[in-house]
Amino acid sequence: MIRLLFLGDLVGEAGRNAAKFVVERLLNEQAVDFVVVNGENSANGRGISAKIAIDLLRSGVAVITTGDHVWDQKDTATYIPTEPRLLRPINYPPGAPGAGSIVLDTPKGKVAVMNVQCRTFMNQQLDNPFVAAEEEAHWLRNQTPVIFVDVHGETTSEKTAMARHLDGVVSAVVGTHTHVQTADERILPRGTAFLCDAGMCGAIDSIIGREAGPVIQKFRDGLPARFHVAKGPSQVCGALIEIDPATGKASTIQRIREVVEMTH
C-alpha cells in the first residue's frame, strides 16, 4: 500500500513551521510514502514564494498544490514553470504558467497529483473544472492508477460533486480553501477516498489563520481592514490515505488534526 499524507492550506509562518514539524515526524512514525500540501497561503497568508516552495520541498514534501491565491506573490509566475512540483489549478486557460498535474516515481510505483479549482463563489473565471478534471484524470490513468486530487473550492456541494464525478477514476479527492476541516471522510462506492475539506495548518487563536480582531471589526462595520496572519500554537489538519498501487483504489482515509506548540 502507498500511504499518502495530505495537509490542508498552510497559513503563514506558523502554519509552515507546524506542517514541517508534523511531516518530519509522520514520515518516520507512520511510514508515510508521499506528502502533498496546499501552500497557497504560505507566504504571509497570500500566495507562495519561490523561497518558501523550495523550503517545503526540501523538508520532505513531494508536491505543493495551490488555488485562487496562487499568483499573489510577484515571483510565482516566473518560478512555477521551472518547478513542476508546484502546481496551479488544472482549469486555468491554455497559456497560463505552470501545470495542473504531475506524475512522480516512488519506490512503490508512480503517483499522480492533480490540482483543480471550483467556480461557485470564487473570483476567477476559470474553465469548467468538471470537464478539465475528468479529461486530465483519464490522461493520468495512462501513466498510473494512483491519482490524488486537491479540489480547491468554497462550497461543500461542488467539492462533493467533484468527488462523485471522479469516483473510481482517481484514488482520492480532498477539498481545500475554507480552512475548516469537515468530518465526512469516507471511501466512495467505486473506491475513491473523499474528505470535503482538509482544514488548515495555522494558528489556533485566529479566524481561519488571521488575527481575530480586524476580521470581527470588518464584519461589524464593513470598513476596510488589514487581516494579519495570526501567530502562536498551531493546528495541523489533513488526511492520511492508504492506496493500492496496483488498482489505485483507496482502502482507508483518516483525518489528521494535531496541535503543535512549536512556532519557530
pTM equals 0.96
Tell me the C-alpha distance between 211 and 18, whole Å.
17
Which amino acid makes up residue 210?
A: R
Which residue ranges in the chain fall short of pLDDT 70?
262-264
Q: What is the pLDDT of residue 263?
A: 42
> Which cell is 142 given?
495512462
Q: What is the pLDDT of residue 125?
A: 86
Q: What is the pLDDT of residue 159?
A: 98
Task: For 178-203, give the DSSP string.
Answer: S----S--EE-TTS-EEES----EEE
Convert the pLDDT of each residue in 224-237 to its tens digit: 989 999 999 999 99
- 2 CB-near residues (< 8 Å, 6+ apart): 33, 34, 106, 108, 109, 111, 146, 242, 243, 244, 245
Tell me the C-alpha distance between 117 and 168, whole Å.
20
Q: What is the pLDDT of residue 264?
A: 47
Please indicate whether residue 69 is annotated as part of the active site: yes
Backbone φ/ψ region at 80: left (φ over 0), alpha (ψ -120 to 50), beta: alpha
Q: What is the pLDDT of residue 2?
A: 98
Tell me the C-alpha distance between 241 and 257, whole Å.
14
Domains and CATH numbers, the chain: 2-260 (3.60.21.10)
Q: 165 φ, ψ to 5°?
A: -60, -40
- 158 CB-near residues (< 8 Å, 6+ apart): 118, 119, 120
Q: What is the pLDDT of residue 262?
A: 62
> Which cell is 175 given?
477539498
Q: What is the pLDDT of residue 250?
A: 98
Catalytic residue among 69, 165, 177, 179: 69
